[in-house]
Structure formats: C-alpha cells, structure tokens
C-alpha cells in the first residue's frame, strides 16, 4: 500500500538527491557548451588533423552509450591512475557526451549567418577574433537558444544514469531508500513525479524563449 506518511519521511532525502541532480545537470551543460563550441570551431579549422579529430570525437561520443562512457571513466581509468570523484565523473561524462550533440547546434547557427556578413567583416579587415566575437557569434547564438534549452532538459533526464557510478542523485536516493526499507512504491513514484515536475517547468521556460525569439525574428524581418 502507498503510504503518504512514509513518503513525507523520505522526502528530505529525495530533495537532497534533487540538489545533486541539478548540480550535475548545470555542471554538465556548462561543460557541454564549451566542448560543443570548441568542436564546432575545430571542424571549421583550416588544419585537416584538427578537423579529423573533431569529426572522430563526435562520431565516438554519438555512437557509444552514455552509460558505457560512465563505466569506462569511473571503473576502467582508475586502473591507469586516472581517478575522479563520482560526481565529477558524472559531470565530465555528461558534458563530453552532450557536447558532441551541441556541436551540431553551433554548426547550424554559424552556417545560418548570411555570407554577406562574413564578406563585409573581412572587407573591413577584422581579425579572426573580432570577426567571431563581434559579427558571427552575436548573430548565430540567438537562434541556438531554443535547441540548447531542449538539450538542457534532455541532459536533466539523463542524470539518473549517474546512480550506476554511486552518485546519490534523486534516483540514487530513491534506490538507497528502497534498498534499506524494501519499499519501492513511494521512493520511485516520488522521484518520477519530481523529475517530471522539474522537466515540465524547464520545458515551459524553453517554450517562452522560443516564442520570444520567434517574435524577435519576425520583428526584424518585418
């Protein structure tokens, strides 16, 4: 039988797990933004070796499951003297994995900048740093925000995998409660409801951002 009294007792443990989930999500997403931008710029480089490296990295990350990457970093690398705390491992793997997908978002945004903007910037003699920071990225980033928001939500939903490497996120907290009490209905139901609620709230704000940038685009086109 489902017990609300028991649910209230375990709720603080689940909320502490939720804090860890949010930390892993935000940390992994921040790293993914950096990795994705580096990969997108690397694929546009004039250095062939760098382009091949970026293409190979993206293919490797996208063709192997995140869970396998977590196990490899947490259980295999320590055999070679490379060891990270569980939460740091989760953040690294999430960021490096999702960064391979975000690179495609950056690529699409950069390719969306009109050729005339590139030509005008070069005609003015702008150096590469100024070209990217003053002309290209300011125009490329706004259309990227909605898909990046969707990746943030997707990353949040991937965090329960971190329980496999002993990270006590909200799903890990639910596992601990279930293992200690042999009660499964309350912890797993509560974890699912909390994850759903946070995802819906995040999706609501992403939709608001999408509508806002759609209106901005229409205003500029008009």
Quote the number of domains for the chain: 1
- In whole angstroms, give the CA distance from residue 157 to residue 168: 15
Q: State the DSSP string of 126-164.
A: --HHHIIIIIIHHHHHHHHHHHHHHHHHHHHHHGGGGGG
Q: Which of 99, 93, 43 is nearest to 68 (CA)?
A: 93
| CA dihedral for 196, 199, 204, 207, sign (positive or negative) | negative
Segments forming the whole domain that contains residue 120: 4-221
Q: 17 pLDDT exceeds 60?
A: yes
The residues near 194 (Cβ < 8 Å, ≥ 6 apart) are: 14, 15, 18, 170
Mean of pLDDT over the chain: 87
The residues near 215 (Cβ < 8 Å, ≥ 6 apart) are: none
> Which pLDDT band, with edges at 50, 70 and 90, does 136 fall under?
confident
Calculate mean pLDDT across residues 3-15.
Answer: 90
Where residue 154 sits, what CATH number does that domain have?
A: 1.10.3720.10
Q: Which residue has the tokens 């490797």?
A: 60
Q: 218 pLDDT exceeds 60?
A: no
- In whole angstroms, give the CA distance from residue 94 to residue 88: 10
Cα Rg, the chain, nearest whole Å: 21
What tens digit of pLDDT does each residue of 97-118 get? 999 999 999 988 888 888 888 8
Phi-psi region at 182: left, alpha or beta (left = phi > 0; alpha = psi -120 to 50):
left
- In whole angstroms, give the CA distance from residue 3 to residue 7: 6
Give the pLDDT of residue 221. 45
* pTM reported for the whole predicted model: 0.85
């Amino acid at each position: 039988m489902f017990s609300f009294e028991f649910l209230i007792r375990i709720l603080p443990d689940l909320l502490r797990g939720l804090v860890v989930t949010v930390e892993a999500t935000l940390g992994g997403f921040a790293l993914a933004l950096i990795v994705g931008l580096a990969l997108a710029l690397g694929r546009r480089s004039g250095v062939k070796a760098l382009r091949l490296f970026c293409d190979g990295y993206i293919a490797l990350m996208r063709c192997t499951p995140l869970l396998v990457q977590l196990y490899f970093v947490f259980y295999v690398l320590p055999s070679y003297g490379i060891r990270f705390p569980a939460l740091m491992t989760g953040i690294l793997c999430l960021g490096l994995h999702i960064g391979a997908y975000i690179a495609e978002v950056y690529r699409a945004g950069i390719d969306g900048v009109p050729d005339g903007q590139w030509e005008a910037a070069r005609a003015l003699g702008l150096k590469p740093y100024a070209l990217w920071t003053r002309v290209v990225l300011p125009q490329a980033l706004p259309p990227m925000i909605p898909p990046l928001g969707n990746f943030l939500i997707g990353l949040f939903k991937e965090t329960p995998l971190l329980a496999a490497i002993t990270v006590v996120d909200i799903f890990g907290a639910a596992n601990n409660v279930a293992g200690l009490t042999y009660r499964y209905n309350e912890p797993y139901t509560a974890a699912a409801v909390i994850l759903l609620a946070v995802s819906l709230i995040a999706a609501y704000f992403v939709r608001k951002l999408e509508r806002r940038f759609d209106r901005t685009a229409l205003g500029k086109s008009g």
